[in-house]
Amino acid sequence: MHLNEKTKDSSVVYDGKIFKIKKDTVILEDNSEAVREYVIHHGGVCILPVTENNEILMVKQYRYPLAEATLEVPAGKLNSADEDHLEAGKRELLEETGASASSIEYLGEIYPIPAYTTEKIHMYMARNLTFTEQNLDSDEFLDVVKLPFDEALRMVMDGTIKDSKTMIVIMKAWLLLNK
Amino acid sequence: MHLNEKTKDSSVVYDGKIFKIKKDTVILEDNSEAVREYVIHHGGVCILPVTENNEILMVKQYRYPLAEATLEVPAGKLNSADEDHLEAGKRELLEETGASASSIEYLGEIYPIPAYTTEKIHMYMARNLTFTEQNLDSDEFLDVVKLPFDEALRMVMDGTIKDSKTMIVIMKAWLLLNK
């Protein structure tokens, strides 16, 4: 069983509002044992909205664990593990920016932290946008920021944009459209 | 206090081996309250080793939360919040691949999941490599994989490589070297 680990026992050590924490004992490939602590998360989706003028939309919001406001593409968590991630992406895009898209392209998935969370984030690029009203959750406060795609890429390269999904979807979409 | 949240109370709800979990009550900008659950993590470092033949080194290892083996650049967590991340990066590079580098360039930091972890990952690119022996931790099993830089970029673009830090450091270094 090279590059594999077997579960010996498993328990939920914290059952919270947005995630559970599990602590498992596993058997390694040399038959020794180790402890694996990790977050159980339903998964998420992010969506890069690109306007007809080759601008992108991002949202600036306060991220409490980091104690700072970050620039990120519209995103959200799935309501359940089997929620359709395209539908979730359209919902988050509409809620956070007021945009709907008639062209949506799947850009693959991200494992944000393989060491300690089960979360996978699906990525989309949205084009041919039309706008209605932003419709935020009651505990959600954010500013929509629009800027040229090339400027967003520069902000990834110079370290201004640090959120992993945002860095990835901007670079991947830029490479798809420009390389 | 637009785009800010104030701590009302804070408690550690799980104190584990690799992370703590905190659950805080916060005051939002409209004076309502919300709960923030998040992981306290010391932070990490990843390092992209590039050979003189323009190949990169990655490691394939089993990631228990995802129940699969993933391809990732050499990486590790800091031993404490104030550990020098360059030294930690050199240590992980040596332990996981046996490589030392006489040229190391800082590529910035990543916030892998701003919503629920304090972890920040520092990125480096390492060149002018010399090789000695791999020296893994006792509970660490991994295979070193060497492949052309352009092939690694293709594997990011086609979805074979899904780890966030690995996707980011490959695309960012490729853009720095080729754009």
Complex ipTM: 0.97
- 3-state DSSP assignment of residue A50: strand
Measure CB to CB from residue B114 to each of A65, A114, A115 and give the nearest one.
A65
Residues A174 and A153 sit within 8 Å (Cβ to Cβ): yes
Q: What is the mean pLDDT of each run of 10 residues along chain A (179 residues)?
A: 95 95 97 96 97 97 98 95 95 95 97 98 98 83 96 98 98 95
For chain B, the farthest-separated pair of C-alpha atoms sits apart, in whole angstroms, at 58
pTM: 0.97
Structure token pair of residue B5: 């949240």
Percent of residues, chain B, with pLDDT higher than 90:
92
To the nearest whole Å, the CA of B171 is away from the closest chain A CA by: 7
B63 in A contact zone (CB under 8 Å): yes
Judged by CB atoms closer than 8 Å, whether chains meet at B171 and A176 is answered as: no
* Residue A1: predicted pLDDT: 82
The DSSP bridge pattern shows strands A44-49 and A121-131 to be parallel
Residue given tokens 């040596």 in the structure block? B94
Q: How far is residue B64's CA from residue B81's CA, in Å, rounded to a whole number?
A: 25
Q: Does residue B119 sit at the A interface (CB-CB below 8 Å)? A: yes
| 8 A C-beta contact, residue A38 and residue A118 | yes
Q: What is the pLDDT of residue B1?
A: 81
Q: B15, B43, B62: which is closest to A23 by C-alpha?
A: B15
Answer yes or no: is pLDDT of B136 > 90. Answer: no
Q: Are B156 and B139 in contact (CB under 8 A)?
A: no
Burial A43-70 (b: 16+ CB within 10 A, else e): bbbbbbbbbeeebbbbbebbbbbbeebb
Q: Give B111-134 pLDDT, tens digit per residue.
A: 999 999 999 999 999 999 999 988
Work out the pLDDT band at B26, boundaries 50, 70, 90.
very high
- What pLDDT score does A112 carry? 98
Q: What is the pLDDT of residue B107?
A: 98
Cα distance from A100 to chain B (closest Cα, Å)? 24
Is A37 in Cβ contact with B116 (below 8 Å)? Answer: no
Residue B179 has pLDDT above 90, yes or no: no
**pLDDT per position as a tens digit, B45-77:** 999 999 999 999 999 999 999 999 999 999 999
The length of chain A is: 179
pLDDT of residue B139: 76
What is the rounded CA–CA span in Å between residue B155 and residue A98?
34
